[in-house]
Amino acid sequence: MQAMSDQLQSQTLPALPAALKMSPAQFQAFLGDNFRDVATGVGQLNTILPRFHGLVGGLEARSADFAKADQIPTAWLPSTMVPFLFWIPGAILTLLAAAGLFFTLRGERQAVGKSALWASVGVGAALMLATVVLSVPEKGAAVDRIDATFGPVFTTAGADQVRSDMNVVQAMSDELQAKTLPALAGALQMNPEQFQGFMVQNFPDVATGVGQLNTILPRFQGLASIIESDVSDFRVAMSIPTQDTATSTLAWWFVIPGILLLLAPAGALLEMRAQRPSGPRPEVVL
């Protein structure tokens, strides 16, 4: 579309007034009076197309990051399983604490306490290992890069701007193909085949671009619809782990509890060992 826009504005439109035996001012008035959508669209192309290029360029630049983000938590588990990465360890630790309390009240503190502490160490090690196995730091950083690129677009204002741009370009395309080009062909006293040949010979980028509009614009319409419908979901996804915290910090939500679950039980086990009675065991005389 950029090549079409450049040639349309720099060559085609300046050449048409002479071909139609009009002054440039008369031609501009002719367009404005008879083909308002085309006149409006052409006047905004230099503003709209850079925004479209930014979207396309962002999608290309972040394709690898989208692939990583799509694998949260893994390539074979949906992202809806992420809460279970916290719920399951939490449930295990809650059960261990409840079991320890129950058996302590029954006077079986020592053996059960050790088992609970070792199990806690296992949960901590699992959390630490999960951070590496699931590539949490890399995936979190990928999400942050996606947010930096598309965050301004996936807002109400951003989605409205994309839709407005799309409406302008679509209206321009529809009127250009349905009314403007046939009218120009008639004014130049050419049939459709002759006019197409004239455009291909003199303005090939415009001819090619116009021929591709009905293929390109539906794709952009689909992209605009996706942005509009996914604004809320995008903002929710980008608020992981919290709204004001980068997603790349998600790894610490595994690492810090993992470290605590490794160190705290280890300290308790050492203390229990230190409290063992020292010296030789008393002999039992039968």
Mean pLDDT by 10 residues, the chain (286 residues): 92 89 90 93 95 95 94 88 89 83 66 72 89 92 95 96 97 96 92 94 95 95 96 92 90 90 73 61 53
* Residue with token string 């050449």: 15
Indicate if the alpha-carbon torsion angle 278, 265, 115, 125 is positive or negative.
Answer: negative
Q: Residue 192: what are its φ and ψ, rounded to 5°?
A: -55, -40
Q: What is the pLDDT of residue 98?
A: 82
For 203-233, give the DSSP string.
-HHHHHHHHHHHHHHHHHHHHHHHHHHTHHH
Distance of alpha carbon 177 from alpha carbon 170, whole angstroms: 11
Q: Identify whether 280 is preceded by a cis peptide bond (ω within 30 of 0).
A: no
Give the pLDDT score at 213: 95
Q: Which of 9, 56, 13 is nearest to 180 (CA)?
A: 13
What is the pLDDT, as a whole number, of residue 108? 61
Which amino acid belongs to residue 107? G
Buried/exposed 130-149: b ≥16 CB within 10 Å, e otherwise: bbeebbbbebbbbbbbbbeb
- Reported residue count of the chain is 286
Rounded distance between C-alpha atoms, residue 65 and residue 63, angstroms: 5
Closest CA to 123 of 259, 250, 270: 259
| CA angle centred on 254, ends 78 and 151, rounded to 5° | 60
Q: What is the pTM of this model?
A: 0.80
Please give the structure tokens belonging to residue 221: 């319409």
169 closest CA partner among 13, 53, 254:
53
